[in-house]
Amino acid sequence: MNRKLFSLFFLVFSFNSLIINAQTLWLDETQVSRFESGWGQTKANLSVDGNNLKVGGRLYKRGVGTHATGKVLFKVFGNAVSFNALVGVDDEAGDTASVEFFVLGDTKVLWKSGVLKKGDSARRVNVSLKGIERVGLLVTDAGDGIDYDHADWLEARIEYTGKTPEMARIKAPKPYILTPPAPDRPRINYPRVTGASPGKPFLFRIPVTGKQPLTFSVTNLPQGLTLDNQTGIITGVIEKPGNFTVLVKVTNAVGKDSAAFRINTGPLLALSPPMGWNSWNCWGLSVDQDKVKAAANAMISKGLVNHGWTYINIDDGWEAPARNASGEIMANGKFPDMKDLANFIHQNGLKIGIYSSPGEKTCGGFLGSFGHESQDARTWSDWGIDYLKYDWCSYSDKVKGRSLLELKNPYYIMRDALLKTNRAFVFSLCQYGMGNVWEWGASVGGNCWRTTGDISDNWKSMAGIGFSQLAAAPFTSPGHWNDPDMLVVGKVGWGPGLHQTQLTPDEQYTHISLWSLLSAPLLIGCDMSQLDDFTLNLLTNDEVIAVNQDPRAAPAKRASYDNENEVYVKDMEDGTKVVGFFFTRPDASGPAAEFQWVDEVKPQKITVSWAQLGLEGEYKARDLWRQKDLGVVYEKFVAEVPWHGCMLIRLSPLKK
């Protein structure tokens, strides 16, 4: 008994003495610039806007000013005693600001503030961290979007003994290049099919890699078209409907290649998913003519055009505030001459896209096309535009509800207006998937339709969108594509400031593989003039692009699925199957999913059986990212896949 009492006394005594010896790590004395912040940059002893920290009318000398979604993870090595702070919305925030603070320990929520709004006095946090290895500090948008969510951790500190806590931030994993460079000999790439509208200007640049100069020749070119034999650009007008198979031959100093190329002249455009660039994910509303030209120049100088990348699409932010006296829409001062810009783009064998909304205003608050649809379509046609993204946005003001008729109507009106012009427009619907748009997008003339809200450059967003497209997948067909939004690789940022995508290299391989299996439009969303080697390599693997551009447009199917991984399969026109293995296991769920709780997740072996793929017999397997044959396989395939990464395999039946 005495012994027990003594030990208890000793324990209490030693614990207290530990606490007495505890040291303090003030949050504001750490490298706060490494805290993640949904907007702006986290600051020490200042708000995210750079003002004195002020919550509920009270000034605070020290703390950290950040913005939802804001987060930081500390390794505390089981040595921490407690976390103390006051938390709240900074008074500088807009009136609608609301946030929620969380303190997490080893994936568990240890404390949460509940929703805090602007004006609320700061709430006290005092959490024991006994035995915890990692502590996550998180501010969320409380479910209503991050607008104005300026959030402060005031007088925030970790008490600890022994080893000083370290910020566990996610050292950016090194990019690694998988795909070998294209050979010097000519290689005709994809797409190898295109749609043309009878009687309207036709433009197509045959995508070929190989040492320059290349010499092109074609046989069986439809009447009305001519080929530039140096660049491979075909232009002209085909008057009559009909399907043509053209034989393309390309030679250079080291070799030659030939391939059949189809031009189908009729009602359908975009016979394979559109590939190009769009200004939104990098420049947002700060897009201007020079940035667009820079994208077009990079498309050529970095050789992307040789891999099928074609469209240069201007998103929101080009429109002047008012129409001219005759009611025509005009470009604002950032785009001095749209016609000239379109010419410049066409001369390079590229195509140009533009953006508008069926409402009075676009999403960015610029002028929309409501009431001027035919006039705007004519203006764009005069400028030489080839592609229209038509974004619902303020059209909500024009409808009472969301009946199918109301959802379809604005798109019918614009389809008819576009068809009456002198040019062929790819028509891209953007209304975030309302009313299962994939079921009827084709009937209103859509060539593609957004199936979701906007993507952002993190795993949760990209994988959340990418792995939830199966219901829409059967609705793809040549000329009709589900659009899970644009690519978030390279330098993105929604303008004018840019940052490197937050997706890890493995996550980026998943992004491109998944979009390829899904036959999604491929619209690069980064600053093309800053393309690094990794991103360029990621976007120029012709065997992966061939999966995206396959003319059969077969829907991707899920062959197997569990909590940790998914296997997708797509039937190709030539009878082969492409199988994507994805190691998707989330680290944790709920608020804990915002953090990476372990330094390294070991690769996983994912097995798919022939029964799951609907196969029998022997197949040749090829690793598409590495462009490497893997030999003959039967009964099953086992892929070793990095966490959040993938393996993309093409299985070709062995010829008997």
Positions in the binding site for ligand GAL (CB under 6 A): 280, 315-316, 362-364, 391, 393, 430, 454
Burial of 395 (0-12, 13-18, 19+ CB in 10 A): buried
Helix ranges (H only) for 420-476 are 459-466
User: Closest distance between ligand GAL and the C-beta of residue 425, in Å?
Assistant: 17
Give the Cα separation of 436 and 451 in Å (integer). Answer: 8
User: Closest distance between ligand GAL and the C-beta of residue 187, in Å?
Assistant: 33
User: Closest distance between ligand GAL and the C-beta of residue 363, in Å?
Assistant: 3
Catalytic residue status for 397: no
Give the Cα separation of 484 and 468 in Å (integer). Answer: 9
Task: Choose between 262 and 361: whose C-beta lies nearer to ligand GAL.
Answer: 361
Task: Choose between 68 and 354: whose C-beta lies nearer to ligand GAL.
Answer: 354
User: Closest distance between ligand GAL and the C-beta of residue 432, in Å?
Assistant: 7
Task: Choose between 295 and 363: whose C-beta lies nearer to ligand GAL.
Answer: 363
- The phi-psi region of residue 65 (left if phi > 0; otherwise alpha if psi is between -120 and 50; otherwise beta) is beta
Which residue has the closest beta carbon to ligand GAL?
363
User: Closest distance between ligand GAL and the C-beta of residue 340, in Å?
Assistant: 24
Listed residue (648, 579, 638) closest to 613, CA to CA: 579
Which residue's entry shows tokens 């372990």?
A: 598
Give the Cα separation of 276 and 296 in Å (integer). Answer: 10
User: Closest distance between ligand GAL and the C-beta of residue 557, in Å?
Assistant: 27
Task: Choose between 136 and 364: whose C-beta lies nearer to ligand GAL.
Answer: 364
DSSP 49: T
List C-alpha distances in Å: 449 to 215, 270, 452, 628.
Answer: 37, 12, 9, 34
Residues 527 and 490: beta-carbon distance below 8 Å: yes
User: Closest distance between ligand GAL and the C-beta of residue 111, in Å?
Assistant: 36
DSSP 511: H
Which residue's entry shows tokens 């460079």?
A: 181
3-state helix, strand, coil split of the chain in percent (to 5) is 25, 35, 45
If DSSP codes are grouped into helix, strand and coil, which group holds residue 606?
A: strand
Residues 480 and 448: beta-carbon distance below 8 Å: yes
Give the Cα separation of 154 and 418 in Å (integer). Answer: 56
Give every CB contact of residue 597 below 8 A, 6+ residues apart in sequence.
Answer: 73, 106, 107, 134, 136, 587, 588
User: Closest distance between ligand GAL and the C-beta of residue 589, in Å?
Assistant: 27
Task: Choose between 430 and 649: whose C-beta lies nearer to ligand GAL.
Answer: 430
How many beta carbons lie within 10 A of that of residue 7, not counting itself? 10
Listed residue (206, 276, 270, 305) closest to 425, CA to CA: 270
Residues 135 and 157: beta-carbon distance below 8 Å: no
Catalytic residue among 257, 288, 386, 391: 391
Listed residue (186, 227, 180) closest to 209, CA to CA: 186
Catalytic residue status for 391: yes
Task: Choose between 113 and 452: whose C-beta lies nearer to ligand GAL.
Answer: 452
User: Closest distance between ligand GAL and the C-beta of residue 620, in Å?
Assistant: 40
DSSP 58: E
User: Closest distance between ligand GAL and the C-beta of residue 68, in Å?
Assistant: 20
At residue 42's C-alpha, the angle toward residues 459 and 40, to 5°, is 70
Task: Choose between 69 and 362: whose C-beta lies nearer to ligand GAL.
Answer: 362
Give the Cα separation of 452 and 595 in Å (integer). Answer: 24
User: Closest distance between ligand GAL and the C-beta of residue 430, in Å?
Assistant: 5
Residue positions counted in the chain = 656
**84 beta partners:** 126, 157
Residues 189 and 208: beta-carbon distance below 8 Å: yes
Residues 290 and 272: beta-carbon distance below 8 Å: no
Task: Choose between 391 and 507: whose C-beta lies nearer to ligand GAL.
Answer: 391
Catalytic residue among 454, 532, 571, 587: 454
Peptide bond connecting 273 to the previous residue in cis, omega within 30 degrees of 0 = no
Task: Choose between 35 and 390: whose C-beta lies nearer to ligand GAL.
Answer: 390
Single-letter amino acid, residue 265: T
If DSSP codes are grouped into helix, strand and coil, which group holds residue 627?
A: coil
Task: Choose between 439 and 454: whose C-beta lies nearer to ligand GAL.
Answer: 454
Helix ranges (H only) for 420-490 are 459-466
At residue 513's C-alpha, the angle toward residues 641 and 594, to 5°, is 65
User: Closest distance between ligand GAL and the C-beta of residue 280, in Å?
Assistant: 5
Task: Choose between 91 and 315: whose C-beta lies nearer to ligand GAL.
Answer: 315
Quick one: tokens of 638? 């086992």
Task: Choose between 49 and 147: whose C-beta lies nearer to ligand GAL.
Answer: 147
Give the Cα separation of 149 and 113 in Å (integer). Answer: 15
Single-letter amino acid, residue 172: A
Residues catalogued as catalytic? 391, 454
